[in-house]
Structure 1
């Protein structure tokens, strides 16, 4: 059995934006089952557990300065859930997260800002770096709403379903660049076609930031 890739530790490569928010990237891993006509009936998403909790989350973690935001989302999926796949580069949205220990602190330094992407899973590893902390679970997409730990996750699921069904979704910036100064500035609209979805989508800029516990 191949040894799992080691998870990155520490924050010495961590990116921050111009407001000093720590930048994170996450994904909604998914697959389509065979033999059913309805997209909703065929669609399953992968969620992960965390110690001492009954609810579930999606893989996410810090975006570091030697990778694109898409590479960060894929790396976190590999480290936390042991999966590989094809990422759709259209953001499902941007959220500001606050930890429980700092939810009363309004300073950007006590929070992180993240984007979430759809990831079509192509490979599931037998072992992975954070297997002792995170178990994975495939669930029907509509069941996932009831298992989500936070409201932002349900909002991301809404955008995810819009994307797969060909509706308009909203993004805040083109995150393809990997600036060495660890600063990210919103840029232009994106219009793109990706093999992991089934349509072309016009993406207007602007989205509401949701404050959530992470």
Structure 2
């Protein structure tokens, strides 16, 4: 088979086996009036891992943010937590569907936050209110094709630059918690920037340190 034909066949095979993003809210979890949402901050480290100082760790920390249709700001992958999955599985699924990444998710969430869905930002009361749980996700695999790549672009940014790109305070608070979690994790070992293949599962779980606080946006 010619190289071009082989490449086309491989691409066709990849797209054929691509898992479609979940649609609808038939399995959506709720807690009272709150829709439950799970998401993550995908991250990696730029450069080698020969230095372990706090300043070096934060200086090399990169986070992955995604774009959304009809919006100029960037966000972190997140979406509805459904009744057939655990909260960390939901976060991994959203990272795969929206950002095309797989990796190692922290065992403990960075925290939980109350916010309005983007379509209900200007509504009164609790209409459209969500309770969101965010995790840190150390990226081990960056996919070339993912379910929602048509509507979500992705961009790696230094963590300090990410603060300026966040639309909401709760997103900046989640970044603070991610840095705390990484710095105070006793067995933390930064990984180099090169991504390697992971297993076919969407995530692996690793211990993490730090309790997440509840915050209101």
| Secondary structure, aligned partner of 2:115 | strand
Identify the match of residue 27 of structure 2 among 13, 36, 58. 13
Deviations 1:20-56 (A, max 9, x none): 3110001000011223630012111000011232221
| Secondary structure, aligned partner of 2:108 | coil
Partner of 1:33: 46
- Aligned residues: CA RMSD: 1.9
Partner of 1:55: 73
Q: Partners of 2:92 and 2:139 in 1: how far apart? A: 10
Is 1:210 matched with 2:198?
no
Partner of 1:132: 150
Is 1:23 matched with 2:36?
yes
Report the count of equivalent residues.
178
Does the 8 Å contact 1:120/1:196 carry over to 2? no
Deviation at 1:96, TM superposition (A): 1.0
Does the 8 Å contact 1:64/1:72 carry over to 2? yes
Deviation at 1:5, TM superposition (A): 1.6
What residue ranges of structure 1 are gaps of 5+ in the alignment? 168-193
Q: Partners of 1:34 and 1:136 in 2: how far apart? A: 20
Please identify, of 123-132 and 61-70, the stretch whose mean Cα deviation from structure 2 is larger.
123-132
Q: Partners of 1:117 and 1:101 in 2: how far apart? A: 24
Does the 8 Å contact 2:108/2:207 carry over to 1? no
| Secondary structure, aligned partner of 1:78 | helix
Q: Partners of 2:119 and 2:206 in 1: how far apart? A: 40
Deviation at 1:100, TM superposition (A): 4.8
- Tell me the TM-score normalised to structure 2 length: 0.76
Deviation at 1:202, TM superposition (A): 5.6
Q: Partners of 2:210 and 2:132 in 1: how far apart? A: 21
| Secondary structure, aligned partner of 2:175 | helix
Does the 8 Å contact 2:36/2:81 carry over to 1? yes
Q: Partners of 1:91 and 1:27 in 2: how far apart? A: 9
Q: Partners of 1:34 and 1:150 in 2: how far apart? A: 30
- Tell me the TM-score normalised to structure 1 length: 0.77
Greater Rg over alpha carbons, structure: 2
Does the 8 Å contact 2:184/2:210 carry over to 1? no
Does the 8 Å contact 2:112/2:131 carry over to 1? yes
Equivalent residues in 2 for 1:63-102, closer than 5 Å? 63-102=81-120
Q: Partners of 2:19 and 2:58 in 1: how far apart? A: 33
What residue ranges of structure 2 are gaps of 5+ in the alignment? 1-10, 186-204
Q: Partners of 1:100 and 1:150 in 2: how far apart? A: 11
Does the 8 Å contact 1:48/1:56 carry over to 2? yes
Between Structure 1 and Structure 2, which shows a larger proportion of helix residues?
A: 2
Partner of 2:134: 116
